[in-house]
Structure 1
């Protein structure tokens, strides 16, 4: 499992390297006095990191918004850990943007509870509609351990970018509600290439990501990025299955 997983991860890194290098160079050359452009570059880089996974068969999407992830839990755990490493690296390489992140507001336990509940509200109806029975999936429970790391680690990175950097930046220029709405629309728009070109599934992905973006943006507005990560990670965990 580990040997096969390392091979998949090396292929992913090799395939990704040219585009990632250009994005990193673009970010480095962009003046720190242009935070909006720097955030846009980071969002584009994340879209690259995510969408490259599709042709390499690390994940797949179906028309009923069921997400299949590679069945190797080692790969999932490493990808989740790498996402958290990128979050930590952003604190060092982009301290000005890092200051925009509102990690928590109000009671942390209440925020986490609301986040998990919101994630369940998004994910449970789709899970029932898809008729996913975990007892019918071979190797589901070992796979789930790796998937938990990816669901919350990978989406922590996504939430830092969209609800931390973007929404935090916008709140300095407009109302909190408008910043949340822009964050949600931008989140869905950044799935357009995945929906319309990479997978050709189309509007179901855009509708789901718009709803997901709205939920996470308003959870972030009330309780912060940690709670939004709980919502996002829980929703993905509920609709994910091994490929």
Structure 2
């Protein structure tokens, strides 16, 4: 229950509930050493390879989502991704810098929660056979926890799925996923600024 229960605030209160989920996860990681070992495994092969892979995957993910996935999901659901709350970023340096800092910090925190904690520790608790289900739960929670409307939840869930697969392919190590997520968020923030 501790493994998946921490997702409830993030799912129930999109955007701000993530902070409560993060606090719950931090409390569990503080008192449970086995959770820390599974959830915080970081480097895959080497730091350089982890970062390089993450940057390539994050860039490819940003292009693929923007050019293929988002338009497809929006056409199927008949609704656009709701980014109205981010309109103030366009051309506004102070807002852009603040948004970028939040985007990069949240990328690292989200990877620890959704990939490291849910999938990494979940695999240790429930066994390797549960990993595909944990990847799907993590992706669905990741999508639901972002407040971009129905299309945004699907698109963000698909991003979470890609990051969950990357996490598995890298032996459940976080650094490639953190680098990919940060790269994705950096590209998205720059695109919002230049819009």
Could you say which structure has the larger radius of gyration?
1
Aligned residues: 168
SS of the residue corresponding to residue 92 of structure 1 reads: helix
Other-structure match for 1:190: 141
From 164, 171, 174, give the equivalent of 1:225. 174
Q: Would you say the 8 A contact 2:139–2:161 is kept in 1? A: no
Distance, in Å, in 2 between the alignment partners of 1:127 and 1:93 is 41
Distance, in Å, in 1 between the alignment partners of 2:145 and 2:128 is 30
Q: Which stretches in structure 2 are left out of the alignment for 5+ residues? A: 71-88
Structure 2 residue 150 is matched with structure 1 residue 202: yes
Specify which structure has the higher proportion of helix: 2
From 141, 148, 159, give the equivalent of 1:212. 159
- TM-score, normalising length from structure 2? 0.65
Deviation at 1:94, TM superposition (A): 4.1
Structure 1 residues 119 and 85: CA distance shift in structure 2, 3 A = same
- TM-score, normalising length from structure 1? 0.54
Distance, in Å, in 2 between the alignment partners of 1:216 and 1:84 is 18
Other-structure match for 2:47: 108
SS of the residue corresponding to residue 104 of structure 1 reads: coil
Relative CO higher for 1 or 2, CA cutoff 8 Å, sep ≥ 6?
2
Distance, in Å, in 2 between the alignment partners of 1:193 and 1:88 is 21
Distance, in Å, in 2 between the alignment partners of 1:142 and 1:84 is 26
SS of the residue corresponding to residue 138 of structure 1 reads: coil
Q: Would you say the 8 A contact 2:6–2:25 is kept in 1? A: no
Deviation at 1:163, TM superposition (A): 1.3
Structure 1 residues 188 and 203: CA distance shift in structure 2, 3 A = farther
Structure 2 residue 63 is matched with structure 1 residue 124: yes
Distance, in Å, in 2 between the alignment partners of 1:48 and 1:41 is 12
SS of the residue corresponding to residue 10 of structure 2 reads: helix
| RMSD after superposition | 3.7
Distance, in Å, in 2 between the alignment partners of 1:192 and 1:85 is 19
Other-structure match for 2:128: 175
Q: Would you say the 8 A contact 2:138–2:164 is kept in 1? A: no
